[in-house]
Amino acid sequence: MLLKGVRPYGEGDPVDVLIRDGVIAEIGNDLEHDGEHDGDVIEGGILLPGFVDLHTHLREPGREDTETIATGSKAAALGGYTAVFAMANTDPVADNAVIVEHVARRGREVGLVDVHPVGAVTVGLKGEMLAELGTMAKSSANVRVFSDDGHCVHDPLIMRRALEYSKSLGAVIAQHAEEPRLTVGAQAHEGENAARLGLQGWPAAAEESIVARDCILAQQVGARLHVCHVSTAGTAEILKWAKARGAANVPQAGRPGISAEVTPHHLLLTDERLETYDPINKVNPPLRTQTDVDALRRALADGTIDCVATDHAPHAVQDKDCEWSAARPGMLGLQTALSVVVKTMVETGLLDWRGVARVMSEKPAEIAGLTDHGRPVEVGEPANLTLIDPGAKWVVRGAELASVAGNTPFEGMELPGVVTATILRGRVTASRGRIDA
Ligand SMILES: NC(=O)N[C@@H](CC(=O)O)C(=O)O
Ligand SMILES: [Zn+2]
Ligand SMILES: [Zn+2]
């Protein structure tokens, strides 16, 4: 395959990139095919390492009416992703080797993106008994990220045991930080808007108190903690404090002791959208205030928050087109993530394209311990790549997205940045909005 006139990280003059046997073989000018096979030739664009999503809900097994590993993989490839981590809140829950091996095998069969199953921390996500982290880690799914996402590991002793166990496995615990006793019946950010609209509040303290506790536990144990979907300015401050404090005892050289992600929707949307009571805007943790949005953008730019993760959460029409308190929380994210990052971070000057590569590919891969994704765009590296047309714009239509579900909060928005090609080990998986099956 030959990429002609592309600009790695959007820097310097256009170059040609020759890919052979799934590896970047040559980078230079006026490169030609090596003759034996013509392969694809793709022209132009900004070349980045393929995106890695640490937080995706593929809904298989159990809710294939909203997404499957196949449709979710298509959405991921169209969004520029070459690897995704599929959360364990499936039905049955991915709290044992059989389920995680099924998800990994299905992902390989579909073959559009590397699907890495996340293992549950506790049996059934109930927060009461540790799941078999060891057998999931030793299974052919090679699980290295454990999370009860959708639920919080709220018992501090269980969380401490999970951190100790994950440390022995060289794994990381990804926490959905929500103190459940502070969010009983919570529907939206606890602030002026929820009060005025009569919606039960989801206080920032419910997230921040868990994050502070978990940072202290992780540093005491010397284990690795990843904070899911950071949503408040306060959590960003706690992360800055914890990272400064914990700089000394990084448990595994080269891999962050404490890391965190922010979602595209928390970088752009606020609780002003509650006005319409449209449950498309219902999400856990909830949309917060503009002050929070601005703080999250700054924290992502300065590295306090390590990466972007989509929290791609497909839901059926009947779980969204209903009255607010009955609706399921969650938003689609895989196909719109890059564009929202361009709109909120690149166009605002907070990140350059090297920064986009860091937060969407390099850091997620490092946190999860992937060795073949998030690599430099250099000769000898695996050809897991994403080509972007930065100047193009597109209008989001939920019905046109690859997911079975259509619950995008960006419906009708014109967004900047189009993924023109996604390449998985030298093979085009998606180009200009089409899947190259
Ligand atoms: N984010 C959400 O609002 N929902 C997620 C679960 C989660 O991430 O908490 C889901 O699985 O639907
Ligand atoms: Zn969550
Ligand atoms: Zn989630």
pLDDT score recorded for residue 248 = 54
pLDDT digits (tens, 9 = 90+) for 47-63: 999 999 999 999 999 99
Q: Is 142 annotated as a binding residue?
A: no
Instruction: State how far the Cα of 50 lies from the Cα of 83, in Å rounded to an integer.
Output: 8
For 30, left (φ over 0), alpha (ψ -120 to 50), or beta?
A: left
Q: Report whether 329 belongs to an annotated binding site.
A: yes
Domain spanning 49-375+397-415, CATH architecture:
Alpha-Beta Barrel (3.20)
ipTM, two decimals: 0.99
Q: What is the pLDDT of residues 339-366, one digit of tens each?
A: 999 999 999 999 999 999 999 999 999 9
CA of 243 to the centre of ligand 2 (A): 22
409 lines ligand 1 (CB under 6 A): no
CA of residue 163 to ligand 2 center, whole Å? 18
Instruction: Kindly give, in sequence order, each residue whose CB lies less than 8 Å from that of residue 191, ignoring residues fewer than 6 positions away.
Output: 201, 271, 288, 289
Tokens read off for 86: 């599929």
Strands 2-8 and 15-20 come out as antiparallel
Q: Judge whether residue 329 has pLDDT over 90.
A: yes
302 included as an active-site residue: no
Distance of CA 195 from the midpoint of ligand 3 (Å): 26
**pTM of the entire structure?**
0.97
Any known ligand binding at 226? Answer: no
Options 53, 271, 292, 311, the catalytic residue: 311
Check: CB of residue 47 under 8 Å from CB of residue 385: yes
Closest ligand 1 atom to residue 315 Cα is: 12
**Going by CA atoms, what residue is nearest to atom 2 of ligand 1?**
330
Torsion-angle region of 330 (φ positive above 0: left; ψ -120 to 50: alpha; else: beta) = left
Condensed to tens digits (0 to 9), the pLDDT of residues 177-232 reads 999 999 999 999 999 999 999 999 999 999 999 999 999 999 999 999 999 999 99
Cα gap 329→282, rounded to integer Å:
5
Cβ neighbors of 290 (< 8 A, separation 6 or more) are 270, 272
Question: How many A from CA of 178 to the centre of ligand 2?
Answer: 9
CA-closest residue to ligand 1 atom 8: 150
Q: Is 310 in the pocket of ligand 1 (CB under 6 A)?
A: no
Q: Which of 114-128, 244-258, 284-298, 329-343 has the lowest mean pLDDT?
A: 244-258
Contacts of 371 (CB under 8 A, 6+ apart): none
Ligand 1, atom nearest to 178 Cα: 9
